[in-house]
Amino acid sequence: MMKNLLSKIALRSLLVLGACFFVIGSSGCSGDPIASHVASVSKTNLQKLSNVYSLYVSRNSNKGPKDEATFREFLETDPSIEKNIGYMGIARDDFEKISISERDNAPLLVRYGLSLPPMSPKQPQVLETVGVDGVRLVIMSNGDIVEVSDDAEYKKMASGKWKENREDSTTPDYGKLGK
């Protein structure tokens, strides 16, 4: 009787364990927290293009690519980013694909040549050019996505003349620290 009871417990445990593995496996959970996080912030082309830009910056002395050709070459040929772009769900030949906004099917505007040292104020990095219902999405260098409906503000962002409003900023004003 004891042997029979142990067999039933073992069988139940095995079934529960099998069900757990099935649920985990079918939910797409790879168990890799880095891959999961990168995938969660790489859902749209705006995010993907910005993330590849940030990847370029991290490997090039905090400087953005100088032009589209440089940026495209980085995505298509740099062997050191294979794992990163895989986490983002990007193939080597996806430059054209990720350069189009899914919301409006218009090309995304990339601000080339940005200098983005650590702790620098956020800057507009990739912008929708058309938008939907008068609202364009802009992804900042810190990953924030903002909605812009004011044409004058959008033009400043696209041209590099935009400056973050200190009252709205989440970046500390290091010039005032310690005073």
Q: Does 117 map to a domain?
A: yes
Q: Does 18 map to a domain?
A: no
Q: Does 57 map to a domain?
A: yes
Q: Does 136 map to a domain?
A: yes
| Residue 48 lies in domain | 33-163
Distance CA 125, CA 169 (A): 17
Sign of the Cα pseudo-torsion (81, 69, 139, 142, in order): positive
Q: Does 84 map to a domain?
A: yes
What pLDDT was estimated at residue 27? 44
Tell me if 123 sits within 8 A of 70, measured CB to CB.
no
What pLDDT was estimated at residue 16? 41
pLDDT along the chain (179 residues), means of 10: 45 40 43 88 95 96 97 97 95 97 98 94 96 97 95 96 74 60
What pLDDT was estimated at residue 98? 97
What pLDDT was estimated at residue 6? 40
What pLDDT was estimated at residue 177? 59
Q: Quick one: which of 45, 60, 68 has its CA closest to 127?
A: 45
Distance CA 98, CA 71 (A): 12
Q: Does 133 map to a domain?
A: yes
What pLDDT was estimated at residue 11? 39
Distance CA 123, CA 144 (A): 10
Q: Does 11 map to a domain?
A: no
Which of 131-134's residues contact partners 24+ apart within 8 Å by CB, and which partners? 131/103, 131/104, 132/103, 132/104
pTM: 0.75
The total number of structural domains that make up the chain: 1
Question: Hey, what are 31's tokens?
Answer: 């168990």
Q: Does 6 map to a domain?
A: no
Q: Quick one: which of 129, 163, 166 has its CA closest to 148?
A: 129
Burial class of residue 163 (count of CB atoms within 10 Å of its CB; 0-12, 13-18, 19+): exposed
What pLDDT was estimated at residue 165? 79
Tell me if 128 sits within 8 A of 136, measured CB to CB.
yes
